Amino acid sequence: MSILHIHNTLTRRKEPFVPRVPGKAGLYVCGPTVYDYIHIGNARTFTTFDMVSRWLRVSGYDVTYVRNVTDIDDKIIERANERGIPFAELAESMARAFSEDCARLKLLPPDREPRATKYVDAMLGLIATLEKKGLAYKAPNNDVYFSVRDLPGYGKLSRRNLDDLRAGERVAVEAAKKDPLDFALWKAAKPGEPSWPSNYGAGRPGWHIECSAMADAVLGTPVDLHGGAVDLQFPHHENEIAQSEGAGHTPFVTCWMHGAFLNMDSEKMSKSLGNFHTLRDVLGKLDSVQGGEATRFFLLRGHYRSEINFSWDTLEDAGNTLRGFYTALREVKPGPRGPIDWNNDYARRFREAMNDDFDTPVAFAVLHDLRGEVNRTKSPELAALLKALGGTIGFFQADPEAFLQGAQTGGLDVQARIDQRIAAKKAKDFALADSIRKELESAGIVLEDKPGGLTEWRRK
């Protein structure tokens, strides 16, 4: 039996997954900052860790998947002020939209979804511990900062040297800091901003302290597996380590896992660059039945540590490939579904690929081979295996006929037009039959003539 190995960002090598408690797996993923709709690049991260949580469960682990929601942040406050609404109203609206978008991608809800505003007391407790250990100080402006140079080993995750470091994203250079690299643990209240009472005065938490406090409160430490996008390595995850391990939670995380960027024209897709599509916009342009799973297929068929490029052509290609799988399952109805026989050659190869740092390109290649064998042999048993293996990571579970026909028919009664075409062919009115086929093709409907005079159809 193969053993799951994961590339650990901290050690830069693949390592066996060994959770703190045998048989249990704690997974923490940095979730959205809910000031706007997520973009398709964000969706790649969340789809990756949905796949990871599913595979951990398939591997027999009792999984606690935690994906937090940052519902207090500078961006939320600024956007709410622009709209003239309370920050909590904006955060709630965007959190709800995030859940709706995730459902369209077939993402399973996390087991726990802590919100930062519910854990302020835990954050203040952590800050107090850091202060006692000489790692936090209150500045003249009443902000509380983490003293980076007082923690030995800072920079071990991102492999950065303190003398070469410059303040990164979300690390403001303030005159009140002792060092430009120090980062805010607590921000003093400003007029018109939300705040909470504390021993340091009214204020609100910094960004980094949120995840340290929530991960420890919900999962305990060490966290078995902590994930996020690669751009969170520094400063966010580096600062999480500093806070948690500085407070005595050593190690904070056993295995760090980071997903690569999704690019737009070979450039990182981001809201700051303005070169992004929201996931909601992308899904809105696709068939409501097929689009979510097709987008999921596109996001997962590249290895999570490899950059992929978004274009409408690559998304269409993924949809075409996915429809090929569903076509095979429509043509060969899967037999009774029991437990997966991992001794089967296809199942064994699939599991070996997934256990090799979630190597989805190789796993998908196995599914392609299996689909070919289903088409060749017409075996219901192999069709059932194809559906079951795809199901382990969230694919092929819809009714094939309904999936292939999709939701959009342009107002046409497709079956009525097919019946008219069949009648025209019987009457040898081939011109009419051909015109009906062309009419349906122009509406995105593909006809497939079968033996015995039957005709099936699907969306392009």
Q: What is the 3-state secondary structure (H, E, C) of 176-229?
A: CCCCCCCEEEEEECCCCCCCECCCCCCEEECHHHHHHHHHHHHCCCCEEEEEEE
- Cα separation, 36 vs 268, in Å, equals 19
DSSP assignment of 84-113: TS-HHHHHHHHHHHHHHHHHHTTPPPPSB-
Q: Is 89 annotated as a binding residue?
A: no
Neighbouring CB atoms inside 10 A of 322's CB total 22
Q: Which helix (H) or strand (E) holds 120?
A: helix 120-132
What average pLDDT score do residues 303-330 get? 96
pLDDT of residue 460: 66
Question: For residue 358, which of 303, 295, 307 has the smallest C-alpha distance?
Answer: 303
- Cα separation, 242 vs 182, in Å, equals 11
Do 250 and 176 meet the contact criterion of CB atoms below 8 Å apart? no
Candidates 3.40.50.2300, 3.30.1330.10, 2.60.40.1180, 1.20.120.640; correct CATH number of 286-297+305-403? 1.20.120.640
- pLDDT by residue (tens digit) across 400-412? 999 998 865 554 5
Do 457 and 440 meet the contact criterion of CB atoms below 8 Å apart? yes
Q: Which residues pair with 153 in a beta bridge?
A: none
Pinpoint the alpha helices (H) of 261-393. 279-284, 291-300, 312-331, 345-355, 360-377, 380-391
Candidates 3.40.50.1000, 3.40.50.620, 1.50.40.10, 3.40.50.1980; correct CATH number of 5-262? 3.40.50.620
Long-range residue pairs from 307-310, CB within 8 A, at least 24 positions apart, any chain: 307/260, 307/261, 307/262, 307/263, 308/44, 308/260, 308/262, 308/263, 309/262, 309/263, 309/264, 309/265, 309/266, 310/40, 310/41, 310/262, 310/263, 310/264, 310/269, 310/277
Neighbouring CB atoms inside 10 A of 179's CB total 15
pLDDT of residue 234: 94
pLDDT of residue 419: 66
Cα angle at 403 between 399 and 408, to 5 degrees? Answer: 145
For 430-459, letters b (16+ CB in 10 Å) and e give eeebeebbeebeebebebeeeeeeeebbbb
Q: Tokens 């009792």, residue?
A: 62
What average pLDDT score do residues 162-172 get? 56
Instruction: Take residue 51 and report the two structure tokens written for it.
Output: 């796949």
Instruction: Take residue 58 and report the two structure tokens written for it.
Output: 């398939």
What average pLDDT score do residues 325-334 get? 97
- Cα separation, 97 vs 434, in Å, equals 44
Query: What is the pTM assigned to this prediction?
Result: 0.88
pLDDT of residue 443: 66
pLDDT of residue 169: 39
What is the pLDDT confidence band of residue 271, given thresholds at 50, 70 and 90? Answer: low
Give the percent of the chain with pLDDT over 90: 79
- Cα separation, 286 vs 320, in Å, equals 13
Q: Is 240 annotated as a binding residue?
A: yes
- Cα separation, 316 vs 328, in Å, equals 19
Give the percent of the chain with pLDDT over 70: 91
The better pLDDT of the pair 455, 173 is held by 455
pLDDT of residue 173: 53
Q: Is 30 annotated as a binding residue?
A: yes
Given a cut of 50, is residue 355 above it in pLDDT? yes
Do 349 and 370 meet the contact criterion of CB atoms below 8 Å apart? no
Q: Which helix (H) or strand (E) holds 253?
A: strand 253-259
The full set of domain ranges for the chain reads 5-262, 286-297+305-403, 409-459
pLDDT of residue 171: 43
Q: Is 255 annotated as a binding residue?
A: no
pLDDT of residue 24: 98
Given a cut of 80, is residue 286 above it in pLDDT? yes
Of 309-313, 356-360, 363-367, 403-407, least confident by mean pLDDT is 403-407
Given a cut of 90, is residue 53 above it in pLDDT? yes
What average pLDDT score do residues 34-48 get? 96
Q: Is 236 annotated as a binding residue?
A: yes
DSSP assignment of 355-395: HBT--HHHHHHHHHHHHHHHHHH--HHHHHHHHHHHHTTT-
- Cα separation, 28 vs 67, in Å, equals 6
Q: Which residues pair with 33 in a beta bridge?
A: 70
For 4-23, letters b (16+ CB in 10 Å) and e give bbbbbbbeeeeeebebeeee
Given a cut of 70, is residue 365 above it in pLDDT? yes
Residue 66 gets which letter from DSSP? E
- pLDDT by residue (tens digit) across 207-258? 999 999 999 999 999 999 999 999 999 999 999 999 999 999 999 999 999 9
Question: For residue 87, which of 99, 96, 100, 74 has the smallest C-alpha distance?
Answer: 74
pLDDT of residue 421: 82
What average pLDDT score do residues 85-95 get? 97
Do 392 and 351 meet the contact criterion of CB atoms below 8 Å apart? no
Average pLDDT over the chain, rounded to an integer: 91
